[in-house]
Chain A
Amino acid sequence: MSGGSRREALTWLHRWLGLALGALLFAIFWMGTLAVFDREIDRWMMPSTRLAPTGAPLSADTVWQRFRAEATGSPLWVLTLPSEREPVARVQFAPVDSAARAIRIYGSHKGIPLPRERLAILLIDPANGAVLPDPGTRGATGFFFPFHWHLMLGEGSVGQWIVGLAGLAMLISILSGLIVHRDLFTQFFTLRAAKRGGRLTLDLHNAAGVLALPFHVAITFSGLAIFYFLYLPAPLEHTHQGGERQLFVESRSGYSRPKAGRPGEMASLDAMIARAETLWGGGRAARVSITYPGDVAAYVQVTRTVEDRVVNDPRPVYFDAASGTLLKFAPIRPVASAQRYIAGLHFTGFNHWLLRWLYFIFGLLGCAVIATGGLFWLQRQRKTGGPSRALAAAEAAIVASTTGLIGATVAYLLANRLLPPGGSERAEAEVVVFGLAWVAFAAHAVLRGRAAWREQCAMIAAGGLAAVACNAWLTGDNLVRTLGRGDWAVGGTDLVLLIGAALAGWSALRLGRAAPARANLVTRASAR
């Protein structure tokens, strides 16, 4: 194959991968970008959890005594201790009659692959151990984050495979895009802002893609590397009797033993935490899990926070629940450690604020690469092929998957402020509002054609402003108050909403100015 035809083939691949999977990739990137600040958005969406940090550590024994009766007989009970980013404690336990073998907990930081949907979740005020009222929302950790990695289709589901395939397609698109870029080095710093139309869009696409290339490659590859055992299971079957489960036991210091079926005592959890912290030689406990609570064979896993490091290794320590005797503490294997570093780069469990903000901004740049790619294709098709039904349908799909998705996200936040108080049914209603809003934005895109870009930008701007206003009005937490008390989680979310609204409003105005100019050109051309 000659150089020219190879470039043509790769251009075809780049274009069609982008067109076929652009909408899905944009959704994955957008939700992942929001998940960078998931705990902070949770504070915004759950006003009852906007608690000031307590000085004294929360006693795990006190919390366990509170739940002892309810949790005894359940296969798993988990206490997540409060942290800088999440000032509330979280208790999760599986229903008593659920199958113990279905619960897999390896102690990873954000609960993966702990099946959240199968666990009852209760929020605890660390100051007094009281159970907080149900926030009635999935928040960001329960919606944006799972949407990002399995499209809300469930852990281990087809959604996770779709996300994996999209990630692979993204890597192929990046590589093919680099090869088909005709002037990669000579136009490395080029942005022809004075140009209009396709030239400027292509420059923006190239700038957002090429200058942030290391981020795009690293974030996509690390996302795939997290679930290597799911995507490439065959080698594990050969190297580990028992496959994935045995791999975790061996390489990441997992531990399990069967339930005895006889009642047992519970030693002090606080003493186990203290012992684990001594073994770690620094770093505090993040989570305490009891498997088969109340059984004589029950065991406790204490995991370490990863907020002070990149490597996503919670260094689990296992104790016999009845006696408090140490059962297992072993460092993870070197190769597993390297994999956990790559996973840590993706999870952003660390409290490094500069890096967190850079991840957020570069995540948005990832969205920009995908959106400008679609936009460039549209502009080119309009120029070469003229208007057609297929082009109108493609434009509607691109509008719906970019500004439509952003609009639906704003609608989700607005619903969070405006729906009447409630429990889990309210949380589901918020998700329904998100879905309906997305459908409405898609319908609007079909009906309004090119004007949909401008109008949806205007709606996003109005929605963002309304969300900030509703937060101030309904919770009393306006920007002056939140920033005054140093609450950067809520204040920062408000600020980002305001900046987003300003950018969307500016885009709507610019598109509004461009539309009459375009119309004049068309009128002059048809008059000739």
Chain B
Amino acid sequence: MTGALGPIAALVLAFVGLALLALTQPGQRKAVYGRNHPPVGAASRQAMRLGGGVLVGLSVAAVLATSGPAFGVPLATLLLSVAAYAVMAALTWTPGLFRPGRSLQIDQLR
């Protein structure tokens, strides 16, 4: 059971990371928040891209740490693809998943 923890953690991290990256794209934001939602500011976009990239990196690291490099490289790669499909499916069929509250708007907080 403990062997499954690495891949599960990796999948969650990759899903959140890729979702952040997806939400920096105007087309995906429109699908999630609607047409009238203000576009994401430059600083927010930068922060989301950085956060997404870090989470994806952590996902790969989680697999490499628990499965070793030989199995870890193919496993991390395929789990990233699985997470990407999950993000695509969520954006397509349950976009509400990405707006539990309000969207992240660092620019507006300043």
Contacts and interface: CB of A to CB of B under 8 A. Distances in A.
Report if A and B associate in a common complex.
yes
Interface of A: 185-193, 207, 211-215, 218, 309-311, 341, 345, 350, 352, 354-355, 358-359, 362
14 contacts: A186-B25, A189-B28, A189-B87, A190-B27, A190-B88, A191-B92, A193-B92, A215-B78, A218-B77, A310-B70, A354-B4, A354-B75, A358-B79, A359-B78
B77 A211 contact: no
Interface residues of B, number: 26
A211 B81 contact: yes
A219 B28 CA distance: 31
Given A186-B25, A218-B74, A310-B74, A193 B93 contact: yes
Sorted nearest first, the 7 A-B pairs with minimum C-beta distance are A358-B78, A211-B84, A310-B70, A189-B88, A189-B22, A191-B92, A214-B77
Given A215-B78, A358-B78, A358-B82, A191 B7 contact: no
B85 A310 contact: no
Contacts of B84: 188-189, 211
Interface in B68-101: 70-71, 74-75, 77-82, 84-85, 87-89, 91-93
Given A215-B81, A362-B81, A189 B91 contact: yes
Contact of B78 (A185, A311, A350, A355): A355
A192 B84 CA distance: 16
Contacts of A212: 81
Nearest to A214: B77
Q: Which of A188, A212, A309, A350 has the most CB of B within 10 A?
A: A188
Nearest to B23: A189
A133 B7 CA distance: 42
Q: Which of A187, A310, A362 has the most CB of B within 10 A?
A: A310
Given A189-B22, A345-B74, A358-B82, 10 more contacts: A186-B26, A190-B27, A191-B88, A191-B89, A214-B77, A215-B77, A310-B70, A310-B71, A354-B75, A362-B78
Nearest to B31: A190
B60 to A, nearest CB: 12
Contacts of A189: 18, 22, 25, 28, 84, 87-88, 91
Contact of B7 (A190, A341, A354): A354
Contact of B71 (A188, A192, A218, A350): A350
Contacts of A359: 78
Contacts of B25: 185-186, 188-189
Contact of A341 (B70, B79, B91): B70
Q: Which of B18, B80, B84, B93 has the most CB of A within 10 A?
A: B84
Given A187-B27, A189-B28, A214-B81, A355 B88 contact: no
B75 A355 contact: yes
B50 to A, nearest CB: 17
Contacts of A213: 81
A188 B74 contact: no
B27 A311 contact: no
Interface string B21-35: 010011110000000
Nearest to B83: A211
A311 B70 contact: yes
Interface of B: 4, 7, 18, 22, 25-28, 70-71, 74-75, 77-82, 84-85, 87-89, 91-93
B64 to A, nearest CB: 13
Nearest to A352: B71
A355 B74 contact: yes
A354 B92 CA distance: 26
A352 B71 CA distance: 8
Nearest to A311: B70
B85 A211 contact: yes
Given A189-B91, A218-B74, A207 B82 contact: no
Nearest to B77: A214
A369 to B, nearest CB: 13
A190 B30 CA distance: 12
B74 A207 contact: no
Q: Which of A189, A191, A355, A359 has the most CB of B within 10 A?
A: A189
Contacts of A218: 74, 77
Contacts of A211: 81, 84-85, 88
Nearest to A219: B74
A350 B27 CA distance: 41
A434 B84 CA distance: 37
B42 to A, nearest CB: 17
Nearest to B27: A186
Given A189-B91, A350-B71, A207 B77 contact: no
B78 A207 contact: no
Contacts of B78: 214-215, 355, 358-359, 362
Contacts of A354: 4, 7, 75
Nearest to A183: B27
B9 to A, nearest CB: 13
A358 B79 CA distance: 8
A207 B85 contact: yes
Contacts of B85: 207, 211
B73 to A, nearest CB: 9
A282 to B, nearest CB: 15
Contacts of B87: 189
A355 B77 contact: no
A309 B22 contact: no
Q: Which of B28, B80, B82, B85 has the most CB of A within 10 A?
A: B85
B26 to A, nearest CB: 8
A279 B18 CA distance: 46
A188 B84 CA distance: 9
